[in-house]
Amino acid sequence: MFKIISNLIIPLMVLGIVIYGIRQRVNVYDVFIEGAKESFEMVISLFPCMLAMIFGINLFLKSNALNYFLNLLKPFFSYLNIPLEIIPMAIMRPISGSSSLAILNNLFQEYGPDSFIGRVGSVIQGSTETTFYVLTLYFGSVGIKKIRHALWVGLLVDLIGILVSIIIVGLFFQ
């Protein structure tokens, strides 16, 4: 059901926009090309931001530094009754969508998608965003250097989202 709905949204959007355009007597072909041309400019301004971000994140991830920090935080999380297995994924989620998805994949392999850990991981992945990626990309594309409180509020909200996910799964599936 959900799959059908989400598979329909893009075709219907395209269909609706083109039909509306024809009815308003717009030269849809010319206008489409004109719009698509803008992508060059956008991609060129995006590339340096992406490069910087991937460079920094990759070095940090591959260096194993994350495990070191996790060990420091362990007592804190076990005090809060948060399953330790979920922590690496929760930390990666705001930084990199593909790595947190890879960790989720491992969690499914090890504990199964219908276990408590599997469900918490699913909800975290499904209900939060890659804050770092979005902020660097969006602000970078228009050349904004001072982002004020955007980052820390974004991360705080991710933390709230993660805690809420754990609580909700605990309540829903007991």
Partner 1 sequence: MVNKIWAFFIVVGIIFFLTTGDLETLNYEILNSAKNSFEMVTKIFPVMALWLGIMNIAKVSGLLNKISNILSPILGKLFPEIPKGHESLSLIASNIVVNMFGLGNAATPFGLKAMKSLQLLNKKKNTASRSMITFLIINTSGVTLIPTTVISLRMMYQSKHPTEIVLACILATTISTICAITIDYLITRRR
Torsion of CA 151, 155, 156, 161, to 10 degrees: 140
70 is an interface residue for partner 1 by CB under 8 A: no
Q: State which of positions 136-165 bind partner 1 (CB under 8 A).
A: 136-139, 141-154, 156-158, 160-161, 164-165
Residue 130 gets the label, from left (phi > 0), alpha (psi -120 to 50) or beta, of beta
Polymer length of the chain: 174
Q: How far is the CB of 167 from partner 1 (least distance, A)?
A: 9
Q: How far is the CB of 92 from partner 1 (least distance, A)?
A: 13
122 is an interface residue for partner 1 by CB under 8 A: yes
Identity of the residue, 6 or 81, whose beta carbon is nearer to partner 1 in the bound complex: 6
Q: How far is the CB of 7 from partner 1 (least distance, A)?
A: 9
Q: Total number of residues binding partner 1 (CB under 8 A)? A: 97
Residues whose CB is less than 8 angstroms from the CB of residue 31 and which lie 6 or more positions away in sequence, other chains included: 21
Burial class, 157, CB count within 10 angstroms (exposed 0-12 / middle 13-18 / buried 19+): middle
Burial class, 163, CB count within 10 angstroms (exposed 0-12 / middle 13-18 / buried 19+): middle
Q: State which of positions 87-106 bind partner 1 (CB under 8 A).
A: 94, 101, 104-105
Among 1-9, 70-78, 83-91, the segment contacting partner 1 (CB under 8 A): 1-9
Among 5, 72, 75, 81, binds partner 1 (CB under 8 A): 5
- Integer CA distances (angstroms), 8 to 2, 27, 64, 67, 126, in order: 10, 26, 42, 42, 20
Q: How far is the CB of 77 from partner 1 (least distance, A)?
A: 19
Q: State which of positions 35-54 bind partner 1 (CB under 8 A).
A: 35-36, 38-39, 42-43, 46-47, 50-54
